[in-house]
């Protein structure tokens, strides 16, 4: 209540939020991104009301949970452009990181393609990563390695996201391999007769 009561409280709140994020991350892995709020609250050792106070909507929680990784991924783009031998190599490496991220988060890829109620989530991810991917793509196009000028970063990323849906659930489906093939397809000049 006094000036030194606040900091204590704030510390508590922060601790709570951390616990919530950890719990959500753990639960998401097991039960997917649609896991019951109660499960998350229980694992964090807080009441459900607390979850709602910190994260009014589910998307807010999801965004918060994955913010760190998204940031890391965003920062890796420019770095690879410097460190890798060619822009396309940089693109491939970055794509691989992105796949890593999606594949380890069970259900995340699916949620990203849903839009339905996950608008905020969708928005955040794309706003942050699309520019990064666009730079990589543009560079690889400029270097002549990527032969498709008609592929935008947004759709490319979304395609990667989609390919990662359900990855890990079925041994016979290797998302990483399919993404590699997709990336390979970028180097192929479109047939004269058109795609269709």
Residues making contact with its own copies (CB under 8 A): 96, 110, 113-115, 148, 150-152, 154-156, 158-159, 162-166, 169-170, 172-174, 176-178, 180-188, 190, 195-196
- Mutual angle of helices 58-83 and 87-104, in 10-degree steps: 150
The per-residue DSSP string of 59-114 comes to HHHHHHHHHHHHHHHHHHHHHHHHHSSSHHHHHHHHHHHHHHHHHHSTTHHHHHTT
**Within 10 A of 180 (CB to CB), how many other CB atoms are there?**
16
128 contributes a contact to DNA by CB under 7 A:
no
Rounded Cα distance between 131 and 161, Å, is: 16
Which is nearer to DNA, 62 or 136 (by Cβ)?
Answer: 62
Instruction: State the binding partner of 128 from its own copies, DNA, none, CB within 5 to 8 A by kind.
Output: none
Which is nearer to its own copies, 22 or 34 (by Cβ)?
Answer: 34
Count the alpha carbons within 13 Å of 81 in the hemisphere toward its beta carbon. Answer: 17
**Which of 29, 53, 84, 96 is in the footprint of DNA by CB under 7 A?**
53
Which is nearer to DNA, 19 or 159 (by Cβ)?
Answer: 19
- 134-193 residues in contact with DNA (CB under 7 A) are none
30 contributes a contact to DNA by CB under 7 A:
no
Q: Which range, of 29-37, 74-82, 136-144, 180-188, touches DNA by CB under 7 A? A: 29-37
- 58-97 residues in contact with DNA (CB under 7 A) are 58
Which tokens in the block code for residue 20? 């919530």
9 contributes a contact to DNA by CB under 7 A:
yes
Long-range CB contact pairs, 112-119, < 8 A, 24+: 112/158, 112/161, 113/158, 113/161, 113/162, 113/165, 117/58, 117/59, 118/58, 118/59, 118/62, 119/59
Which is nearer to DNA, 44 or 163 (by Cβ)?
Answer: 44
- Radius of gyration of the chain measured on its C-alpha atoms: 20
**Which of 13, 30, 72, 154 is in the footprint of DNA by CB under 7 A?**
13
Longest dimension (CA), the chain: 75
Instruction: State the binding partner of 9 from DNA, its own copies, none, CB within 5 to 8 A by kind.
Output: DNA
**Which of 23, 24, 46, 167 is in the footprint of DNA by CB under 7 A?**
46
């Amino acid at each position: 209540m006094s000036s030194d009561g606040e900091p204590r409280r704030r510390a508590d709140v922060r601790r709570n939020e951390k616990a919530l994020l950890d719990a959500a991350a753990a639960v998401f892995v097991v039960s997917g991104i649609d896991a019951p709020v109660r499960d998350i609250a229980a694992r964090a050792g807080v009441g459900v009301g607390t979850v709602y106070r910190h994260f009014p909507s589910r998307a807010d929680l999801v965004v918060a949970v994955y913010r760190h990784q998204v940031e890391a991924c965003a920062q890796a783009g420019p770095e690879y452009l410097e460190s890798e031998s060619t822009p396309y190599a940089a693109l491939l490496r970055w794509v691989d990181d992105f796949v890593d991220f999606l594949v380890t988060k069970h259900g995340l890829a699916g949620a990203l393609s849903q839009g339905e109620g996950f608008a905020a989530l969708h928005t955040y991810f794309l706003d942050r990563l699309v520019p990064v991917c666009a730079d990589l793509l543009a560079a690889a196009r400029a270097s002549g390695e990527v032969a498709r000028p008609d592929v935008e970063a947004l759709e490319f990323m979304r395609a990667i996201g989609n390919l990662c849906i359900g990855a890990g659930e079925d041994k016979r489906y290797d998302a990483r391999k399919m993404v590699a093939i997709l990336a390979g397809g970028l180097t192929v000049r479109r047939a004269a007769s058109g795609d269709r």
